[in-house]
Structure 1
Amino acid sequence: MFNIDLILKGLQNDKSTQRAAMTGAAGLAVGMLMGGGGKKFLKKAATVGAIAAVGGLAYKAWQSSQQGQNPGEQPPSAKPWSTPADREAFIPEAGKDQEELGKSLVRAMIAAAKADGKIDAEEREAIFFKLAQLQLGSEEKAFVFDELAGPLDVDAVVARADTPQHAAEIYAASLVAIDADTEVERAYLADLAKRLSIDPRLVAEIHKEAGAQAPLLDPAAALGTSRQ
C-alpha cells in the first residue's frame, strides 16, 4: 500500500539529503518538502501524518473562509459545498481513499517543485541518487521516480481533485512544497487555484494558515506576464 508518510519520514531522517536539499539545485526536488513552509509542514507531518497535516491545514483555512459568508456570495466558478464539511471530508480513514489522496498530494508537490523549470538532466540524476538512498518502500520509490521523470503535467494534478475538499488539499500541498517567492511559482499557484475552481477567499486563507506570502490578486494578468 502506498504510504506518503514513508516519503516524509525518509526525508526527515536522512541528514545528508536534508543538507543537499538546502544547497539548491542538486537537491531541489528532494528538498521540495524541506524549503520555506515545507520545513514547518514536515515537522507537523512527522507528528500527525502527512495527510492529516495537509487536511488539517485545508480544513482550518476552509473554516476561516466561511466565516461571515452567505451562500449566495460564492463565485459561480467555485466548486459548491453542498453541506458543511467536517474534518472527515478532508482526512479520510485508512484505506484506498487515503492511499489515493496520498498519491495525489505527492504528485501535486512534485509538480509544484517542477514549476520553475530548473531541474535539468544532471540535477535529476542527482535527485534520483539521493532518493535511492532513502528508506522507502518499492511502491513509494517507484511512484516518486516516475513523477520526477515525467514532464510537468498540471492536468494530472487537477484531475485528482474529485471533491472540493481534495481540491483545497491539492492546492495546500502544492503551496507547502515550494517557497512561492518567484513570479513563476506564484503564477503557477494562481493558475492551479483557478483550474481547481477554488474560491479566492479560501486560497487566501490557505496561504495564511501555511504562513506563506499572499496569493496573486490577478492570476490572469500574472500568468500573461510570466509567459511573455
Structure 2
Amino acid sequence: MNAQRILAGLMQQAGSARRAGVDVQGLLDGLASRRAGKAPASSSGVDVGSALGGGALGLLLGSKRGRKLGGKALKYGAIAGVGALAWKAWQRSRPASGDGAHEGAPLDELRDEALERRSLALLQAMIMAARADGHVDERERALITEQIDAIGADDELHAWVERQLSAPLDALALARQADSPQAAREMYLASVAVIDDQNPMERAWLDQLASGLGLEATMKQALEREAGDAASEAP
C-alpha cells in the first residue's frame, strides 16, 4: 500500500486549508457537484479543483459538522504537524530523567516500512474518529474513497479504506496498531484533531482510545493542549 503518500498529502493540504479557513460544507458541496459532472463551486471562494487530494480527505473527515478548518473545534493544525506536536507534548510532560530512548521515533524521522506502518495507523485513527458519532453518510463515504484515489491510492489501499469505513468501531483494536509510545501519542493527537470533544459520543471514543493506548491523564491533557494551540495559531 502507499499510505505514506496519502498521509503526506493530507498533512500538506490540511496545513494550507487551515491557513485559508476553508468552508468545509461549501467545499463538500462543490466536490459533490464535480462528481455529478457539474461546474465546481465553493462558498469559501476556494477553487474545488485545487483542494482535491490529501486536503480533500481531511475536509471530508470533518464535513458532517460543516465546520471551518482552523477553528478551535476542528484542529487541523494538529494533523499538519502531528509528529512534532506529539513529541513536544511528551517533552513538556516527561519526568526529569526521561531521555526518549524507549519512546519511539516521531513520524517525521521514519522511513520506508516503518513510515508506511505509522502512516496507515494514523489514517486508520482519523477515519475511525470521523465515524465516532455515527454520522458519515453514503455520499461522504463515496467522496472520501474518491479523494483517496485522487491522491494516488493503489488498489490495496482503496480496498483498505473501504473496509475502515464499514468496520466495527473498536478502540482497543485500533490501539493495538501503535508500535511505540510516540505512535500512541500521534494516533491520539490525530484523533483529537478530527473529533468534536463537546460531542458525548466522540468524547467517549477519545477516552476509550486513550485507555487502549495506555495514555495517562496528564499526557492526554498535554496532547489536547497542543491541538488547541495549533488551532489558535491559525490566521
| Displacement after TM superposition at 1:147 (Å) | 1.5
Aligned AA (1:84): D
Partners of 2:75 and 2:25 lie apart in 1 by: 12
| Displacement after TM superposition at 1:118 (Å) | 1.0
| Residue in 2 that maps onto 1:90 | 106
Aligned AA (2:84): G
Aligned match for 1:159, one of 173, 176, 186:
176
Comparing 140-149 with 164-173, greater Cα deviation is found at: 140-149
Is 1:141 equivalent to 2:158 in the alignment? yes
Task: Answer whether contact 1:37 1:211 (CA < 8 A) is retained.
Answer: no
| Displacement after TM superposition at 1:112 (Å) | 0.5
Is 1:55 equivalent to 2:55 in the alignment? no
Secondary structure at the aligned position of 1:89 is classed as: coil
Partners of 1:40 and 1:29 lie apart in 2 by: 11
Partners of 1:181 and 1:209 lie apart in 2 by: 17
TM-score computed with the length of structure 1 as normaliser: 0.66
Closer, same or farther in 2 for the Cα pair 1:98/1:61, shift >3 Å? same
Residues 65-76 of structure 1 aligned to structure 2 (within 5 Å): 65-66=93-94, 69=95
| Displacement after TM superposition at 1:205 (Å) | 0.6
Aligned match for 1:170, one of 187, 194, 215:
187
TM-score computed with the length of structure 2 as normaliser: 0.64
Aligned AA (2:3): N
Partners of 2:136 and 2:225 lie apart in 1 by: 28
Task: Answer whether contact 1:32 1:110 (CA < 8 A) is retained.
Answer: yes
Aligned AA (1:2): N
Partners of 1:143 and 1:211 lie apart in 2 by: 30
| Residue in 2 that maps onto 1:77 | none
| Residue in 2 that maps onto 1:4 | 4
Closer, same or farther in 2 for the Cα pair 1:207/1:97, shift >3 Å? same
| Displacement after TM superposition at 1:203 (Å) | 0.8
Aligned match for 2:76, one of 26, 30, 39:
39
Q: 1:8-31: CA deviations, max 9, x gaps?
A: 526939x9xx97843579899852
Closer, same or farther in 2 for the Cα pair 1:210/1:20, shift >3 Å? closer
Aligned AA (2:212): R
Aligned AA (1:58): A
| Displacement after TM superposition at 1:7 (Å) | 4.8
Partners of 1:37 and 1:119 lie apart in 2 by: 16
Closer, same or farther in 2 for the Cα pair 1:209/1:199, shift >3 Å? same
Task: Answer whether contact 1:171 1:192 (CA < 8 A) is retained.
Answer: yes
| Displacement after TM superposition at 1:3 (Å) | 3.4
Partners of 1:103 and 1:205 lie apart in 2 by: 24
Partners of 2:162 and 2:86 lie apart in 1 by: 27
**Identical-residue share of aligned pairs (%):** 31
Partners of 1:7 and 1:90 lie apart in 2 by: 14
Partners of 1:209 and 1:123 lie apart in 2 by: 28
Partners of 2:160 and 2:75 lie apart in 1 by: 20
| Residue in 2 that maps onto 1:179 | 196
Task: Answer whether contact 1:61 1:202 (CA < 8 A) is retained.
Answer: yes
Partners of 2:152 and 2:23 lie apart in 1 by: 18
Partners of 1:210 and 1:5 lie apart in 2 by: 23
Partners of 2:215 and 2:104 lie apart in 1 by: 19
Secondary structure at the aligned position of 1:209 is classed as: helix
| Residue in 1 that maps onto 2:92 | 64
Is 1:196 equivalent to 2:184 in the alignment? no
Secondary structure at the aligned position of 1:211 is classed as: helix
